[in-house]
Amino acid sequence: MTNFVSLIFLIASVLFIFSLKGLSHPSTARRGNVLGMLGMGLVIATTVFSGLVHSYMLILIGIALGGFIGTNMAKRVEMTDLPQLVALFNGFGGFAAVFVAMATFFNPEVHNLLNTNGDVQIKSLFEIGLSVLIGSVTFTGSLIAWAKLDGRLKGNALTIPKQFIFNAGLLGFIVFLILIMMAAPSSGIFWLIVLSALVLGVSLVTPIGGADMPVVVSMLNSYSGFAGVAVGFTLENTLLIIVGSLVGASGAILSYIMCKGMNRSFLSVILGGFGETAVSSSADDGEEKIAKRGSAEDAAFIMKNASEVIIVPGYGMAVAQAQHAIKELTDVLKADGINVRFAIHPVAGRMPGHMNVLLAEANVPYDDVYEMDAIDRDFAQADVALVIGANDITNPAAKEDPSSPIAGMPVLSVGDAKTCLFIKRSLGVGYAGIDNNLFYADNTMMLLSSAKEMVEGIIKALEDL
């Protein structure tokens, strides 16, 4: 029976690997999801019917309760709230690792963790401590990330003096407690590790500003995977080690790529020290600024006479659920022989891939969607750059103002287009809390309205021309 279970777990691991590969591109994402669900189904069925289960009642209660909560959350969540949901799921995964570590610490004999002298093995104590550390940090860090993304906490960086040093010192203190627990395990030390790690999770995420929150969500996803790895070593469960490694490594790689793309330090993400930036003066320099406002008819006339249009979707598109109207707009423009492409910034929206998912939902062809590196230089040859609800990812302050909170972050060069059309509800600041001087440029026209209403108005105006 043990060999059969190992074989099923191996098959499931292969399915998870192919699932991850499928999720790397929108065209294969659906297949990747199916493979992942199939692998998880095999794992659950094999575990339940392996003969190692002592209480089916608890399992049934867990499945029913978790299934009810998960289904209810998935049905109610809006596409705009998906990042918050991901953040919560990361936290749940981390807290699950804490509960498993708790069960193994207080009942080591059940999990065969005792040595010949009847003491808990030192390596098992180390793995338990590691699970508690990573899992607790993931839990509270994810709750803070969720609260910031959901607007329940201010999106700006909340710092204390010497935040980086405090976080590094607290991490060192927790490692010291784990060493003490390995030498002389006690419930008091265990709970002190839990409490300190929960505080560390809060301290790591609060100093990080809203503009950098996508990196945090990705990193917390990685933490939840590594927490699973630690639990897998404790339980000697090969599948947990493999799956946790896949999640942890992929999340860490994605975080590194995003940090590189945003000119952020990877180490600072881990220790929560890159939210401490000076406030940009671009929003309050005493200079009177006048933005040129336009209508749907103005935008339609400009685009009707264009040959190259690049659309930049942002969070405003997600809020207005305007992706289907934008797809209709591209169809109308293409029917007139206008070349239309989409430019996707790595952190557009509230999480990596947010815009890609929305455009895929509207059946926008994958070949029309370009990542930033592949299309940014083309703005200089474009007749129109149509920006829909994006602010920080187009803000030239990232290049021009060293004191800006987004200084050094690569931004899309929409201002290089002959005409830049901005669809926004107002001239208000973006998630980073700074003004965008591009709104007041000579080649910019502001279309102040809901994204869906404005795009639908442009379509009607185009049809009337």
Element (H, E) at 448: strand 444-448
Three-state DSSP class for residue 445 = strand
Amino acid at 377: R
**Edge-first strand listing for the sheet containing 444-448:** 369-371, 339-344, 308-313, 384-388, 419-424, 444-448
- The answer to whether 392 is a known catalytic residue is yes
Residues 197, 132: Cα–Cα separation, whole Å:
7
Q: Count of CB atoms within 10 A of residue 176's CB?
A: 12
SS3 letters for 292-354?
CECCHHHHHHHHHCCCEEEEEECHHHHHHCCHHHHHHHHHHHHHCCCEEEEEECCCCCCCCCH
Which residue bears the tokens 């201010």?
A: 154
Q: How many CA atoms lie less than 13 Å away from 79 in the CB half-sphere? A: 21
User: And the tokens for 142?
Assistant: 């994810």
What are 94's two structure tokens? 């981390």
Q: How far apart are the first and last CA of the chain?
A: 73
Contact (CB, 8 A) for 412 and 259: no
Q: Which long-range contacts (CB under 8 A, 24 or more apart) does 392-395 make?
A: 392/211, 392/430, 392/431, 392/432, 392/434, 392/436, 393/312, 393/314, 393/345, 393/347, 393/348, 394/312, 394/314, 394/436, 394/438, 395/430, 395/432, 395/434, 395/436, 395/437, 395/438
Q: Of residues 212, 376, 392, 435, which has the active-site annotation?
A: 392
CA 176 from chain centre, in angstroms, equals 31
CB 410, CB 393: distance < 8 Å? no
Q: Is there a contact between 6 and 236 (Cβ–Cβ < 8 Å)?
A: no
Tell me the H-state helices in 77-207. Answer: 82-106, 122-149, 163-183, 187-205
- Residues marked as catalytic: 392
